[in-house]
Amino acid sequence: MRTIIVSGASSGIGLATAERFARSGDHVINLDLLPPAPDTVNGTREGGGRVRWIEVDVADWSSVREVVDRVHAERGRIDVVIANAGISVRRGILDLTEDEVRRTLDVNLMGVLALWRHATPHMLRQGEGVLLATASVNGSRGYPLYADYNASKAAVASLCQTFAIELSPMIRTACVAPGAVLTPMQRAEYTDSMLDEVNERIPARRHARPEEIADVFHFLASPQASFVSGQQFVVDGAETAGATTAFFPGPTGPLR
């Protein structure tokens, strides 16, 4: 039975991903600040398999090291790490504050780096492992009102390349770069009419379901993806395939 660590698996994409792996028989550990969503039982919805929650702030480097080492001591191996926990706050450049920007980078960038960094020695000793993370299409475009978030996701794509180069052939890396996914994160920042506006601009005419991102993670962690490393997989319903670079629901200028 593989041991899979997923961060941010109490909600949204992480929850669906943890359930996807648990359902296929993997032992899954959820590292999250918060307990699993209330519509779950023991961290999973019906039919989802069992997921164990450990409370941790992924931005805390030494806590992440301690928890990764503990999981390895208990399980004897760590097969796959999915650094998924992330935050975003929708605000213009003139509204950015130092504390908020640092928190975004601490969670979205340092949280991935810490998890991957501390899993790496275990994977090297066992001679194999897969490091995955949730990036975003925001990492490759200038989506307004998300300056710090966009930069943090570009950094995740960069980590994915560097880890792959340094750690191949023992360890593979890959990121999933979703477009719009209907999760509590998206719900928190978009009104219904903004969601409709976004859907109109996506060629698929809708947001992704978290399960559609989970399926891609499941593939990337599988032997079928054995020659995939160092790359981002864009899963966006063709949002970024065309000439239009980005959609901007709501007013975006500095004087909005």
Ligand X SMILES: NC(=O)c1ccc[n+]([C@@H]2O[C@H](COP(=O)([O-])OP(=O)(O)OC[C@H]3O[C@@H](n4cnc5c(N)ncnc54)[C@H](O)[C@@H]3O)[C@@H](O)[C@H]2O)c1
**Nearest distance in Å: CB 136, ligand X:** 4
Cβ–Cβ under 8 Å, residues 110 and 159 = no
- Residues 6 or more apart whose CB falls under 8 angstroms from that of 103 comprise 59, 87
Kindly name the residue from 143, 146, 149, 190 that is annotated as catalytic.
149
Residues that bind ligand X (CB under 6 A): 7-8, 10-14, 32-34, 57-59, 84-88, 107, 111, 134, 136, 178, 180-181, 183-186
Q: Taking the complex as a whole, how short is the minimal distance between the CB of residue 109 and ligand X, in angstroms?
A: 11
Closer by beta carbon to ligand X, 86 or else 237: 86
- Judged by beta carbon, residue 3 or residue 108, the one nearer ligand X is 108
Q: Is 149 a catalytic residue?
A: yes
* CA dist., res. 95 & res. 149, Å (int): 14
Q: State the Cα–Cα distance between residues 3 and 68, nearest whole angstrom.
A: 11
Compare residues 11 and 44 and give the one whose CB is closer to ligand X: 11
Indicate the helix (H) or strand (E) that contains 131. Answer: strand 129-134
| Token output for 44 | 């999973």
- Least CB distance from residue 25 to ligand X, whole Å? 23
What is the spatial order of strands in the sheet that 129-134 belongs to?
Answer: 51-55, 27-32, 3-7, 80-83, 129-134, 171-178, 231-235
- How many helical (H) and strand (E) elements, i.e. helices and strands, does the chain have? 8, 7
Q: Are 202 and 236 in contact (CB under 8 A)?
A: yes
Q: How far is CA 167 from CA 55, 70, 195, 226, 241, in A?
A: 29, 23, 40, 14, 31
Q: Minimum CB separation from ligand X for residue 34, in Å?
A: 4
Nearer to ligand X, 58 or 202 (CB): 58
Q: Shortest gap between Cβ of 42 and ligand X (angstroms)?
A: 16
Closest to ligand X by CB, 171 vs 214, is 214
Catalytic residues: 149
